[in-house]
Amino acid sequence: MRVLGIETSCDETAAAVVEDARVVLSDVVGTQVDLHARYGGVVPEIASRRHLEVIDDVIALALDHAGIALRDVEGLAVTTRPGLIGSLVVGLSSAKAYAWAASKPIVGVHHIVAHLSAARLAESGGEPPPVEPPFVGLVASGGHSDLILVRDWLEPELVGETRDDAAGEALDKVARHLGLGYPGGPALEAAARGSTEPVEFPVADLGDSLDFSFSGVKTAVVRLTAALGPDDTLRRRADLAAGFQAAVVGPLARNAARACVAEGVDLLIAGGGVAANALLRSLLADECAAAGITLALAPMRYCTDNAAMVASAGCELLSRGRRDDLLLDCESTGPIARRRG
């Protein structure tokens, strides 16, 4: 089964063709980083307008790189939630138009489930990893910090989430506060490599909960830099970056491993933009090794938003009979239910 995936949930205009949920035939991403850099973050109106300008070219490139025509795909998959509403509308409207024109089935994909599916994709030239339920998935990005229990791809279950800022959002905001540039997460990680004495910051104690909280440590950075003053803040910027990074990614790794133990599963997968962070990947490996858990990380190129992960998730849904109506919103992607109790 070959599926054309379309992703426009935020500021990446992406299209890809994936075969049998695992083999990437093409993967095209039109980035908007330069457009938003001057503002220090994504401007929704600018993002949606840019999607409109380039989406047809991106889709055409994805089909061309895969060496096929639209008539050759078995269906289309498109991100329908969550995300910036204007950006999502562009992708959904385009996917519906292409599906109608080619008389192909269409299915909506939840963005978080797509990030989980990224762990199924092969590195360039490599073999697809054997990632199948049951597993716990950690999705950490600019908008999300979620722990998802997957015993069946069609019924993901939320077992942990952030109570305030997402991990990537916190990293971006502190990077901006420290004057490290945009995008903030990679800039803060780069600055942290120069640290010789990381600052220790408090980590929220949420008891037995698998949830996260990052607003308190973010506030701690602001208060400390105010006390240090601009000169000392600049001098200790690498140490501040390293300490804050550790305070954010440490709970992500610990709670992810705890979730596997609590749910009795021995596979942990991780995806999302923050999953590209080297310290997080290292801590996840350590936590999993200590607990006897197998770790499957999304390939680096598929951690940030892309359409290959959407097409992969779409393959799974379409192969199991899911379809959406062109006349309605894509309804197969309802919110991921939170575990009760």
**What average pLDDT score do residues 21-39 get?**
88
pLDDT of residue 124: 63
Least confident of 149-153, 181-185, 275-279, 311-315: 181-185
Across 78-85, average pLDDT: 91
How many Cβ atoms are within 10 Å of 186's Cβ, its own excluded? 18
* Segment 254-281 mean pLDDT: 96
- The tally of domains found in the chain comes to 2
Rounded average pLDDT over 307-312: 97
Residues 79 and 143 both lie in one domain: no
173/71 same-domain check = no
Does 130 fall in a domain? Answer: no
pLDDT at 79 over 80: yes
329 belongs to a structural domain? yes
Same-domain status, 290 and 190: yes
For residue 241, what pLDDT band results from cuts at 50, 70 and 90? very high
Q: What is the pLDDT of residue 335?
A: 61
Tell me what pLDDT residue 39 has: 81
Residue 127 lies in a domain: no
Question: What is the structure's pLDDT at 328?
Answer: 56
Strands in the chain per DSSP E: 2-7, 12-19, 23-31, 75-81, 106-110, 135-140, 145-150, 157-161, 267-271, 294-297, 337-338
Q: Do 66 and 90 share a structural domain?
A: yes
Single pTM value for the model: 0.90
Side-chain half-sphere CA neighbours of 29 within 13 A: 18
The rounded mean pLDDT for the chain is 91
- The predicted structure's pLDDT at residue 127: 75
Does pLDDT of 55 surpass 70?
Answer: yes
67 and 156 part of one domain: no
d(Cα 240, Cα 93) in Å, to the nearest integer?
44
pLDDT at 40: 78
Residues 6+ apart with CB under 8 A from 33: 11, 182, 183
Q: Tell me, yes or no, whether 128 lies in a domain.
A: no
Q: Are 273 and 168 contacting, i.e. CB atoms less than 8 angstroms apart? A: yes
Strand partners, 6: 15, 78
Q: Give residue 10's pLDDT.
A: 87
**CATH number, domain containing residue 162:** 3.30.420.40
- The residues, any chain, with a CB within 8 Å of residue 87's CB and separated by 6 or more, are 8, 9, 10, 11, 44, 47, 48, 51
pLDDT value for 331: 54
Provide the residue range defining the domain that includes 159: 135-297
Q: Lowest-pLDDT range, 98-102, 145-149, 183-187, 188-192? A: 183-187
- Out of 36-50, 179-193, 217-231, 277-291, pick the least confident: 36-50
Residue 63 clears pLDDT 60, i.e. is over it: yes
Domain shared by 86 and 171, yes or no: no
**Could you report the per-residue pLDDT of 197-231, keeping only the tens digit for each?**
999 999 988 999 999 999 999 999 999 999 999 99
CA distances from 238 to 167, 170, 190, 197, 200 (A): 19, 17, 9, 9, 13
- What's the rounded mean pLDDT across residues 79-93? 92
